[in-house]
Amino acid sequence: MTAQEISPGLVIRGITPPLNLHDFRLITFDMDSTLINIECVDEIADAAGRKAEVAAITEAAMRGEIADYKESLRQRVALLRGVSVASMEAVYATRLQLNPGAAELVAACKQAGLKVLLVSGGFTFFTDRIRDRLGIDFTRSNMLEVQDGLLTGRMVDQPWGDICDGDEKRKMLLETCAKLGIQPRQAIAVGDGANDLPMMGSAGLSVAYHAKPTVREQAMVAINSGGLDRLLELMDKMSTRAVP
């Protein structure tokens, strides 16, 4: 499919007008480096003096260079052993920020009647807070095991399974569509890393946000500069007329 840059840093591929937010019923977001500005696992690792080591694994996983995402996450979480919950609170309070346009896009989607789903290979410690902060309807992410206020270096199995990887993100998107009584083509999926591709491939509209090259190349929309609310700019351009 031919890519078309309709304005600086905003690229579309394989879609034609009209395109309207009201055509969709669900928007699904990745969290780390998509809805928020950091990779939480890397920042937690900083408290253990292991940020460089963990960040290197994260970067390779997001580029799609690690085939077994679950094992890569287990390796990274093992390196977090001994980090305190207080240190995670500090990450949330001092390092984590919503990415530009995130709150505006979520609010616009909710106003248009869409439900909002947050799926993350990150952790409930952060997704629960972002859920409450933005009024998100559904979440799925991983739970870190804590004993005596310290991370054990393990994750806790949950009723749906062990680790939220790319396949689990896709499964959750499809399950949420079924719960809402809608078709996957009525869903938007927004992500930045290789583990977002399965859900992006199942959605009616896939959006890459400041993404890895392989994700940009497969997404229907690539936001390469500016904030998440540039999706609203795209909708405005494509709602009633052809893109010049």
Q: Indicate if 157 belongs to the active site.
A: no
Q: Which of 170, 210, 206, 215 is nearest to 188 (CA)?
A: 206
Q: Indicate if 32 belongs to the active site.
A: yes
Q: Mean of the pLDDT values across residues 27-46?
A: 97
Q: Mean of the pLDDT values across residues 90-102?
A: 97
In one letter, which amino acid is 221?
Answer: V
Of residues 3 and 203, which shows the higher confidence score?
A: 203
The full length of the chain comes to 244
Distance separating the N- and C-terminal Cα atoms of the chain? 18
User: What is d(CA 109, CA 142) in angstroms, rounded to the nearest whole number?
Assistant: 25
Per-residue burial over 222-238, b = 16 or more CB atoms within 10 Å of its CB, e = otherwise: bbeebbbbbbbbbbebb
Percent pLDDT > 70 in the chain is: 98
Which one of the listed residues 30, 42, 192, 196 is annotated catalytic? 30
Residues 130-177 pLDDT 10s = 999 999 999 999 999 999 999 999 999 999 999 999 999 999 999 999
- Between the CA of residue 235 and those of 16, 106, 169, 230, 243, what are the distances in Å? 11, 14, 25, 9, 11
Residues 49-59 pLDDT 10s = 999 999 999 99
pLDDT grade for 240, boundaries at 50, 70 and 90: low
Domain boundaries, the chain: 3-238
pLDDT grade for 79, boundaries at 50, 70 and 90: very high
Domain 3-238, CATH? 3.40.50.1000
43 Cβ contact list (under 8 Å, min separation 6)? 51, 91, 95, 96
Q: Regarding beta strands 150-156 and 138-147, do their DSSP bridges make them parallel or antiparallel, or are they unpaired?
A: antiparallel
pLDDT grade for 227, boundaries at 50, 70 and 90: very high
Residue 209 in this model has a pLDDT that exceeds 70:
yes
Residues 166-189 pLDDT 10s = 999 999 999 999 999 999 999 999
pLDDT grade for 239, boundaries at 50, 70 and 90: confident
User: What is d(CA 26, CA 184) in angstroms, rounded to the nearest whole number?
Assistant: 9
Residue 1 in this model has a pLDDT that exceeds 80:
no
- Most confident residue range from 11-25, 61-75, 201-215: 201-215
Residue 192 in this model has a pLDDT that exceeds 70:
yes
Which one of the listed residues 23, 32, 196, 236 is annotated catalytic? 32
Residue 241 in this model has a pLDDT that exceeds 70:
no
